[in-house]
Structure 1
Amino acid sequence: MVAVDQSPANLTVKFISETVVRATNHSKNPMSIFPISNLDRIMGGIPIIIFYVYNKPLSGHFSSVLNAVKLPLSQALDHFPLFAGEISQDSSGEPEVLCNNKGVRLIEASTNISLFKLDFYEQNNSIQKIILKFDNKYPLSVQITSYTCGGFSISWCFDHLLADASGFIKFLSVWCEIAQTKKLLPSMEFNNERHFLRPRTPLMCSERIDRIFTVCNTGDAFKMPEGCATERHLYLVKSSTLEKLKQEASSKYGPNRTRTEALSAYLWKMMARTFDKYCKYTRCKMGWAVDGRKWMTDEESISILNFTGNVCSMAVGNAAIEELIEKSLAHIASTVSNAINEVANREHFLDLIDWIECHRTEKIVPKLMLSDCSPAILVSSCCNMPVMGMDFGFGLPALGMFCSALDRLSAGYVNIVSSGRDDNSWFVSAFIWPELARELELDANHVFEPISVGYVGV
């Protein structure tokens, strides 16, 4: 097992300054009211954090880092007015975005430790002490933090109402492109329009959506039961391990499974073993975030692949714990694949848009995220996104990962990104139960290896 580096107990963060960065040419995009789409409503109001770590630049000081990030941000906001806007409500109480160039909150901070001393594995007492807290006055906030070694970290916190992971990574890519080339190249295409996500006429509200989503009040949506997920860990899953799992998850005469399906099958089996051992549940669930850009794109809307808003749904599998323990990895991977394929199509997303329209005055949440008698975990795979490609002119990051801004979750959450290394390994950020973390790390297969400072390379 990979050795885990412990962070010092006296870690402190000093906040130096806070400024607001606005678009440079707001006059070209005068204030407008931007209505959100039905798919924006699913996770709207949930803060998402992306945390990046960079080694000490070969030249320049921390002030040059600040300028390299700050100045291109103003130009990037010219193309993404929603991120510089303000989330409000219309006369009927429905959310909307005022594109008024209120700006992005930019925080400068410093720590009393080096990156080498930061515990990347156990995040509750390290990274969670560093990253900024969500301020709903600003849909997007940025924190740039310096370390005693000369390295720095950048954390972004954005409201899920504005974008999903794919959309926000597109925004960061544009930002980096401007930072490096001082302009936006024609190849950097993106689409902020939401007209293609309008409901059909007449509405067709499929009962199939009722199995995945529900309506509730805001209090119930964030009600956390006893025994919820509290542990934040970062793991390394090696490419050789992924290929071994993929081979085991692919039946001899059946289709080959993807890496995500294979890792999900393994995680689901380990989850079943854990809850059978500690809690004696009879069933457990697993969900998968599904990006709909591929299926919502047609000949009339080819630019949807570069859409920057929300086009995500969720697939859900529900199985008996006894079955998950006894069945082969190939059998479980087949269940995973079937669940994902049920929603990975255009008809599902059209049904979902209509279903939300039928409930547009209510709070929409995935059933998986609500507490009930069955434990659940959500898997979000971002391994095909250029998460590790964010170069502001000081080199590529040593680490990039998604984090949750919430202290506890009723369901577990696992996010997967490519490590950006030539070995094609994955970083897996896990917000899970202590018992599951223990079982994963004690498993003889060593699939989930606690990340080390040595592998991060700081």
Structure 2
Amino acid sequence: MKMTASPTAGNGTQRSFTVRAGEASGERIRLSVYDMLIGLVYTPRTFFYRQTLDGAALRDSLSRTLRNFPMVSGRMKKDSDGRLSVLCDDSGVRFIETTASEPMPDHGPHHTAKKGINRYLTQVNPLQVADRDTPLFTVKLTHMQGGGSVLGVTMNHAVADGSAYMRFLESWSREHRGLGYAKPGHDRGLIDALADPVARDARSDSAHFTVTKRGRKSAYVGRVLFSSIAKVSTMVTTRFSAAELAAMKDAAMADLAGTKRWVSTNDALTAHLWKVLGALRGRPDTSPERLGLLADFRAFVGEAVPDDYWGNTVTNTRPGMTAAELRSRPLGEVASAVRSGYAENTEEKIRQETAFLCAQYEAGRLKRILPTMTLDKFENTIVINNWSKLPFYDLDFGQGTPFWYDVPALPTPWTVLMAPTPADQPGGRDVHMSVPRALVRTLREPSWTDRFHRYANSAEACPLTFGNG
């Protein structure tokens, strides 16, 4: 059977299903070094719909979609040499359908879903994934009183990064509506093969990855767990309209007049956020300030990794300057530094990076590696994750697109997520920022809203919204 159902004890309004493709290749796909670098954590996402979604129809279309994504319905296995693989045995994904007792909240940048968002998600222990019957993808469909549904999904990050994750969800949406979509490629060998041309000359160190000393990674993980439990960070959300972004880019380009340099809208917004958050940190003039920029490396390696590859293909760069420079330089200059940071992602850089990671795997040190920007996030780095081009608001399952997208509060400070805005507010950005709780009182002062929205019409500036999950 493609689907099986069983009632959940103690709650007559909740049903649990296992959704399967109905076919299995039995192939065992070994994870790449970038997949294993991520670890077995799960990435949660929630989508809020005004209309009520059809659970049975969703399960049926999900079943059909899984035929093209066999890893999603497989299980994580540990190989004899310690490497991880996904066994494509179609063990299935977990699908929970439930009913809430309250109506759909009017979520948006003025009222985020972070408080209580976990009620819409299925929690999975990443320590109980390898060699266990633990799904790599889960769905929780919550129907709200009076209409509307929340689609909460989690995917194991070792299987797919953010772009691949959304490609799966978009494929599911298109399958649900009877539309075609490009089939994904699952050959993980393509990634490790990037190291082959430079393997002999590979560097023994990396500018963007750190081989931690024994105990340092555990100490870092412990600090993250403490931050999560103690809620030392608070999520701050605000919306930048399309008109505001246009004014921001115009200001940046005016700063660069006569230099023949160009920056994008996202470069300008990233630079603006870096400047404002740098001012909020208030570090001494000579202190180094770094910006962690995540990027999809498929765009930089030509045909070596095809567009249809489905997995983890994220790299990073870390442009920097002193705190005094960050405060004093005009927006255009900082935006140009952001653009130069992205430009560091050359084919040679990616190949050298892959060779470094492969060498660390062979030496048994891959588990001790962390992105340097991640280690420095508590100190001198602000990490920007630009999701503005991901199709969050294109996911139509027959009842229209979501009116709001949200994620749980982030446990570590100084992380920024840039998301697109809904269809009724096109071209803008919803920005979610994790900042230390100790700075919340400062941020509540009206002057900080003015700083974030200095390029907006004062009557249209979106206030800052505070709230953890």
TM over 0.5: yes
Match of 1:190 in 2: 184
Match of 1:455 in 2: none
Once the two structures are superposed, the pairs formed by residues 292-441 of structure 1 within 5 Å of their partners are 292-298=297-303, 304-343=306-345, 345-360=346-361, 361=364, 362-363=366-367, 364-371=369-376, 374-401=379-406, 403=407, 408-421=411-424, 423-434=426-437, 435=439, 438=444, 440-441=448-449
Identify unmatched segments of 5+ residues in structure 1: 1-12, 453-458
Once the two structures are superposed, the pairs formed by residues 6-405 of structure 1 within 5 Å of their partners are 16-26=14-24, 29=25, 31-57=26-52, 65-116=54-105, 121-136=111-126, 137-181=134-178, 185=180, 187-197=181-191, 198=193, 199-200=195-196, 203-204=199-200, 206-207=202-203, 210-216=206-212, 219-224=218-223, 230-250=233-253, 251-254=256-259, 255-276=261-282, 282-298=287-303, 304-343=306-345, 345-360=346-361, 361=364, 362-363=366-367, 364-371=369-376, 374-401=379-406, 403=407
Kindly state the Cα deviation for residue 119 of structure 1 after the two structures are TM-superposed: 7.1
TM-score normalized by the length of structure 2: 0.81
Match of 1:4 in 2: none
**SS at 1:177 equivalent:** helix
The range that moved more, 163-172 or 426-435, is 426-435
Q: 2:43 and 2:188 mapped to 1: Cα distance?
A: 21
Q: Kindly indicate whether the alpha-carbon contact (under 8 Å) linking 1:40 and 1:163 is maintained by their aligned counterparts in 2.
A: yes
Instruction: Write the deviation string for residues 211-236 of structure 1: whole angstroms up to 9, x where unpaired.
Output: 21113365245232788862224321
TM-score normalized by the length of structure 1: 0.83
Closer, same or farther in 2 for the Cα pair 1:397/1:122, shift >3 Å?
closer
Q: Kindly indicate whether the alpha-carbon contact (under 8 Å) linking 1:45 and 1:159 is maintained by their aligned counterparts in 2.
A: yes
Kindly state the Cα deviation for residue 123 of structure 1 after the two structures are TM-superposed: 4.2
Q: Kindly indicate whether the alpha-carbon contact (under 8 Å) linking 2:413 and 2:435 is maintained by their aligned counterparts in 1.
A: no
Q: 2:274 and 2:232 mapped to 1: Cα distance?
A: 15
Q: Kindly indicate whether the alpha-carbon contact (under 8 Å) linking 1:231 and 1:432 is maintained by their aligned counterparts in 2.
A: yes
What amino acid is the match of 2:154?
Answer: C
Q: Kindly indicate whether the alpha-carbon contact (under 8 Å) linking 2:177 and 2:398 is maintained by their aligned counterparts in 1.
A: yes
Q: 1:108 and 1:446 mapped to 2: Cα distance?
A: 44
Closer, same or farther in 2 for the Cα pair 1:118/1:294, shift >3 Å?
closer
The range that moved more, 40-49 or 354-363, is 40-49
Question: Which 4+ stretches in 1 moved above 4 angstroms?
Answer: 117-120, 204-209, 225-229, 436-440
Q: Kindly indicate whether the alpha-carbon contact (under 8 Å) linking 2:21 and 2:67 is maintained by their aligned counterparts in 1.
A: yes
Q: Kindly indicate whether the alpha-carbon contact (under 8 Å) linking 2:204 and 2:356 is maintained by their aligned counterparts in 1.
A: no
Q: 1:425 and 1:442 mapped to 2: Cα distance?
A: 18
Closer, same or farther in 2 for the Cα pair 1:428/1:318, shift >3 Å?
same
Q: Kindly indicate whether the alpha-carbon contact (under 8 Å) linking 2:378 and 2:413 is maintained by their aligned counterparts in 1.
A: no
Instruction: Write the deviation string for residues 49-74 of structure 1: whole angstroms up to 9, x where unpaired.
Output: 221111124xxxx6xx1012111111
Kindly state the Cα deviation for residue 412 of structure 1 after the two structures are TM-superposed: 1.9
Closer, same or farther in 2 for the Cα pair 1:150/1:205, shift >3 Å?
farther
Instruction: Write the deviation string for residues 85-111 of structure 1: whole angstroms up to 9, x where unpaired.
Output: 111211222221121212111122333
What amino acid is the match of 2:51?
Answer: K
Q: 2:79 and 2:409 mapped to 1: Cα distance?
A: 27
Q: Kindly indicate whether the alpha-carbon contact (under 8 Å) linking 1:238 and 1:425 is maintained by their aligned counterparts in 2.
A: yes
Instruction: Write the deviation string for residues 259-283 of structure 1: whole angstroms up to 9, x where unpaired.
Output: 1111111111111111117x99923
Instruction: Write the deviation string for residues 367-406 of structure 1: whole angstroms up to 9, x where unpaired.
Output: 11125772322212222232211111111111234x3575
- Report the number of matched residues: 421
Q: Kindly indicate whether the alpha-carbon contact (under 8 Å) linking 1:180 and 1:393 is maintained by their aligned counterparts in 2.
A: yes
Q: Kindly indicate whether the alpha-carbon contact (under 8 Å) linking 2:292 and 2:382 is maintained by their aligned counterparts in 1.
A: yes
**SS at 1:419 equivalent:** coil
Kindly state the Cα deviation for residue 138 of structure 1 after the two structures are TM-superposed: 1.9
Closer, same or farther in 2 for the Cα pair 1:286/1:119, shift >3 Å?
same
**SS at 1:155 equivalent:** strand
Closer, same or farther in 2 for the Cα pair 1:46/1:14, shift >3 Å?
farther
Percent of pairs identical after alignment? 19
Instruction: Write the deviation string for residues 143-173 of structure 1: whole angstroms up to 9, x where unpaired.
Output: 1111113001111111111111111111112
What amino acid is the match of 2:41?
Answer: I
Identify unmatched segments of 5+ residues in structure 2: 1-10, 127-133
Q: Kindly indicate whether the alpha-carbon contact (under 8 Å) linking 1:190 and 1:306 is maintained by their aligned counterparts in 2.
A: yes
Match of 2:4 in 1: none
Q: 2:264 and 2:12 mapped to 1: Cα distance?
A: 44
Closer, same or farther in 2 for the Cα pair 1:281/1:272, shift >3 Å?
farther
Kindly state the Cα deviation for residue 317 of structure 1 after the two structures are TM-superposed: 2.0
What amino acid is the match of 1:212?
Answer: H
Match of 1:456 in 2: none
What amino acid is the match of 2:297?
Answer: G
